Amino acid sequence: MTPDRWSRIKDAFADLLDLPPEERPAALDALDADLRDEVAALLAAESDAGSRPDDPLAPPPALFDVAAAAAALPPDLVGQTVGPYRITGHVGRGGMGEVYRAERADGLHDRPVALKVVRADSAAVLSRFDAERRILGRLSHPGIARLLEAGLVAEARPWIAMDYVDGEPITAFADARGLDTAGRVRLLAATARTVHAAHQNLVVHRDLKPSNVLVRTGADGTPEPVLLDFGIAKLLSEDDDLTATGERPMTRAYAAPEQLRGEPATTATDVYALGLLLYELLAGQRPFADASSPLAYEQAVLDTDPAPPSRVAEASTGTGRGLRGDLDTICLTALRKNPQERYASAEALAADLQRYLDGLPIAARPPTVGYRVRKFVRRHRVGVAVTAAVVALLVAGGVLHTARVTAERDAAAVAQARAEAVSEFLVGLFEASDPTGDGRPDASLREVLDAGAERLASDLTRQPDVRSDLMRVVGTVYASLGLFEPAQAQLDDAISIARRAGATDVLAEALLQRGNLDYRIGRFAPARAALTESLALTERLAGRDAERTATVLNSLALTDEALGDTTAALRAYERIVAIRRAATGGHPDRNFAANLSNLADLVRNRGDLVRAESLYAEAHRNLTGDVGRNHPYVAFLLNSRAGLYEDQGDVAAARADLAEALRIGLDAFGESHPFTAVVLHNTGTMEAAAGRTAAAVAALERARTIRRQIGDPDLAETEAELAALGR
């Protein structure tokens, strides 16, 4: 029984089942002679089983009687002949028996096969083996090891021969070749598409794990994942007898919550296992791999939400930056406890992975203006802004704070005066390049900063608190200009010197800016550590309800949100808003507006659109009352609020906010600026969704031009949107 012949028999059998019973004999006589007897036997078995005449999915009868499979086998079959195959080596042992490497003894072909022989005496195991034979017989896909033949050993013990896959487990393959994130995602996407093909044949694998997904190298050098071992697979057209009897054949480390609870497996079970494979490929370990016992592991799977893979990778190898955001979301969506909350299919998971690879918004997160703008803004906003101007304000605030505290130390009064003068000079230079003020970019600022950093390497050694604070200022300005390496060096030196000098106030400020820098470059775990220490020091100095505490809390909340801990972020934002509300006493305040906007972003992401709208409105009133209607901060806020309007389906309101944001942004930053590109991109995608193709193309082409000019990493996203519009 070759695969091709079996496929022809199945097709003919299905065609006959579609006919009325009285027309089947004539159709049977019309078949090719080499198919007629087998199809007739299947029709007879169909009738005996009492299956519905119109059900083409009823399984064919077993090729052997599993109840008769009781004969003992030699301990080692290597060198022996099983059916037409000579066994040449041992491959491995599974739950149902042994797997061997074999070749045709009759020389019909020379390709190796994997030959599985069942050894267990359990009737349930033998039934599963027979089910695997039937399942593999109905699956035809290049990513699934094919069934070649089946038979009996010594007329009693069943065997099946399948394609031999010369590959490695998917995780080992990726690690051995040092695949980057994109390469690992491609492997999992291909695997998910193959699993979807099995699901379309009404087959759930139920035991997806690295050893059952082997990756071989294709003729063109492309990695090819291949699924193995459908030994505990379930046909969706059949009753789940294993669950009904309480038996739970599974690999516990890759089992879904419903499997651990003894509930029926569905296609969502395989989606969960694919999520585990993706997590392990990205983070280097499974989410609950460190559980202390099997019981603790099951409790963790059932009750605990896994940490984002980016957080695990960052903590273990410092490589989590590239996983944050979309990949975290994709992975954690596949790993939802409730099967109904996961991806609707393995194909949906594969599609989202492909969207990530193509630079497109993923389906697991609504492709709203707010989501698209956060892909830019969250990378650049430290505190409340996407430009160097806000850091200038933070620097100025920090200098005044430090100057005040330093002035209280009698022994350092002279050093304090000098520090204040030098700091004000640096801040003045920075403000000269501030696009939100009256100045214009100053190309010599980098040179001034470099000279200042060089001087600080040797100056003020007898005033370590002043020296460390100036290093903090220089490091903060470096960071505001995107010069991250010298910024890190200055801030690390400032922290080290402040610790040795016992300058708690300077240390708190330096840790805040170091945390902000780590957040900005995507190193969220170190950012949280620095900001947590800064918060503790600040609360000790300023009191739990102080303005300064709110500033540190804002950075910590943004970091918690980036790490996926929205509960902690929400608590922090609520506390910040309470502090700011009490401090402002109802007077307009730009910092309070920024906090309100951040809180609005978060509650909108959590689905509370009504409260988000109220918070955005309050933020807008505070901001325009403080800085007027034409300030860049207003543009940032309008860009975010447009996302809410799009969520609510109010395209006209979203369009108005984006148009106003673009007008303000152009006045403040000019055409060739990342923020201008973001607003134009979001305008284009919104217009495309509204069916206004011409307006969409015009905005997107303008955004593409800007992003090409400035080397914006989001260029691919704009190009993908234009490609979708045929441009």
Which has more pLDDT, 184 or 220? 184
Work out the angle at residue 722's Cα, subtended by the Cα atoms of residues 720 and 725, and round it to the nearest 5 degrees: 115
Give the rounded distance of the alpha carbon of 90 from its chain centre: 38
Residues composing the chain: 727
CA–CA gap between residue 434 and residue 633 (Å, rounded): 13
CA–CA gap between residue 505 and residue 498 (Å, rounded): 9
What pLDDT band is residue 186 in, cutting at 50, 70 and 90?
A: very high
**What was the pLDDT predicted at 350?**
92
Buried b (16+ CB within 10 A) or exposed e, 238-269: eebebbeeeeebbbeebbbbbbbeeeebbbbb
Name residue 382's beta-bridge partners.
385
Instruction: Kindly calculate the radius of gyration of the chain based on its CA atoms and give it in whole angstroms.
Output: 33
Fold of 168-365: Transferase(Phosphotransferase); domain 1 (1.10.510)
CA-wise closest residue to 723 among 377, 330, 355: 355
Burial class (CB in 10 A: 0-12, 13-18, 19+), 346: buried
Q: Which of 95-109, 135-149, 170-184, 416-430 holds the top average pLDDT?
A: 170-184
CA-wise closest residue to 280 among 309, 307, 311, 319: 309
**What was the pLDDT predicted at 683?**
92
Enumerate the domain spans of the chain: 3-49, 66-163, 168-365, 386-544
CA–CA gap between residue 242 and residue 95 (Å, rounded): 15
What pLDDT band is residue 405 in, cutting at 50, 70 and 90?
A: very low
DSSP letters spanning 429-493:
HHHTT-TTSS----TTHHHHHHHHHHHHTTTTTT-HHHHHHHHHHHHHHHHHTT-HHHHHHHHHH
Specify the DSSP element, H or E, that contains 85. Answer: strand 85-93
Which has more pLDDT, 629 or 389? 629
**DSSP H helices in 408-444:** 413-431
Residue type, 696: A
Sign (positive/negative) of CA torsion 262, 268, 269, 272? Answer: negative
CA–CA gap between residue 202 and residue 645 (Å, rounded): 41
Cβ(43)–Cβ(13) below 8 Å: yes
CA–CA gap between residue 4 and residue 593 (Å, rounded): 69
Within 8 A by CB and 6+ apart from 16, the residues are 24, 27, 28, 39, 43
CA–CA gap between residue 337 and residue 345 (Å, rounded): 15
Within a 10 A sphere around the Cβ of 450, how many other Cβ atoms?
Answer: 14
Mean pLDDT of the residues in the chain: 75
CATH of domain 386-544: 1.25.40
Give the rounded distance of the alpha carbon of 410 from its chain centre: 54
Which positions are catalytic? Answer: 207
Model's pTM, two decimal places? 0.44
Res 557 pLDDT > 60: yes
Name residue 658's beta-bridge partners.
none
What pLDDT band is residue 435 in, cutting at 50, 70 and 90?
A: very low
Cβ(191)–Cβ(274) below 8 Å: yes
Summarised one tens digit per residue, pLDDT across range 18-65 is 787 788 888 888 888 878 877 777 776 555 434 333 433 334 444 444
Fold of 66-163: Phosphorylase Kinase; domain 1 (3.30.200)
Res 368 pLDDT > 70: no
What pLDDT band is residue 121 in, cutting at 50, 70 and 90?
A: low
Query: What is the percent of the chain with per-residue pLDDT over 90, rounded to a whole number?
Result: 14
Q: What does the DSSP 8-state code read for residue 31?
A: S
**What was the pLDDT predicted at 584?**
79
| 471: phi then psi, degrees, rounded to nearest 5 | -60, -40
Summarised one tens digit per residue, pLDDT across range 141-155 is 778 887 777 676 655
